Structure 1
Amino acid sequence: MNTAKHLRPLAPRQAEALTHRARGLSNRETAQAMQCSVTNVSNLLAECFYKLHARNSTDAVAKAVKHGLIQFALLTCVLSGIGADAQDQLRTRFQRRPTVRTIRIRNNREGIA
């Protein structure tokens, strides 16, 4: 049975709330962005879960993106807040820093340190 046939389309505000959730915003941050109450956001997301047959936010976002119900560009989320010197910021943000670890040897019976 193909579940794509049974998915109901999302209302514009539901899609907006789910898109904010996909960007990693909390219900409170989503409410501020949408200029509504936190309860309204919770209700909008609950309707999304119902329409998409989703168990949680991650499942709902994955299904909505897969079926084209919301547009979500990962690149936009990664690059948000990066200014003109994006390459330098990306290089320092994702640069792997070396880790130095000190290991103490206890009860060294052979006297080798």
Structure 2
Amino acid sequence: MEYRKLAPRQAEALTHRARGLSNAETAAAMHCSIANVANLLTECFFKLHARNSTDAVAKAIKHGLIQFTLVASIISGVGTDTQEQLRTRFQRKPTIKTIRIRNQGWNTA
């Protein structure tokens, strides 16, 4: 599937979203209204065939429509203990719990 290119302001709004900023914080950073940010992100979702912000950011990064180097710069600036905690935090496998039911004297014959 081919995605349409993002306009510069759309890419900027989506990059702010990738950094974890809210619509209000993005509006302040971009010197525009919150409604304008919402419209820019809605257009991004449409162009990327995305269901939500996370999906849009992932698709935009994967296809080179936005550059997102914040994570790499954060991880390179922290110690090895923190790097290991971040690595294991995002790679954890789901926990499966086993529930044992004690026989309450039921007759299984």
Q: Normalised by the size of structure 1, how large is the TM-score?
A: 0.66
**Post-superposition shift, 1:10?**
0.2
Alignment of structure 1 residues 33-112 onto 2, 5 Å: 33-73=29-69, 74-76=71-73, 78=74, 90=79, 94=82
Aligned-partner Cα distance in 2 for 1:35–1:91 = 37
The equivalent of 1:107 in structure 2 is none
Q: Normalised by the size of structure 2, how large is the TM-score?
A: 0.68
Which structure 2 residue ranges, 5 or more long, are not aligned? 86-109
AA paired with 2:25?
Answer: E
Which structure 1 residue ranges, 5 or more long, are not aligned? 80-85, 97-113
Q: What is the count of residue pairs matched by the alignment?
A: 83
Aligned-partner Cα distance in 1 for 2:41–2:33 = 13
The equivalent of 2:25 in structure 1 is 29
Aligned-partner Cα distance in 1 for 2:36–2:72 = 28
Pick the aligned partner of 2:7 from 3, 6, 11.
11
Offset from partner CA, 1:32-67 (integer Å, 9 cap, x none): 000000000000000000000000000000000000
Q: Percent identity?
A: 67
Aligned-partner Cα distance in 1 for 2:53–2:46 = 11
Quickly say closer, same or farther: Cα 1:91–1:56, change in 2 above 3 A: same
Runs of 4+ in 1 over 6 A off after TM superposition: none
Offset from partner CA, 1:53-87 (integer Å, 9 cap, x none): 000000000000000000001123x26xxxxxx56
Aligned-partner Cα distance in 2 for 1:32–1:22 = 16
AA paired with 1:50?
Answer: F
CA RMSD of aligned residues (A): 2.1
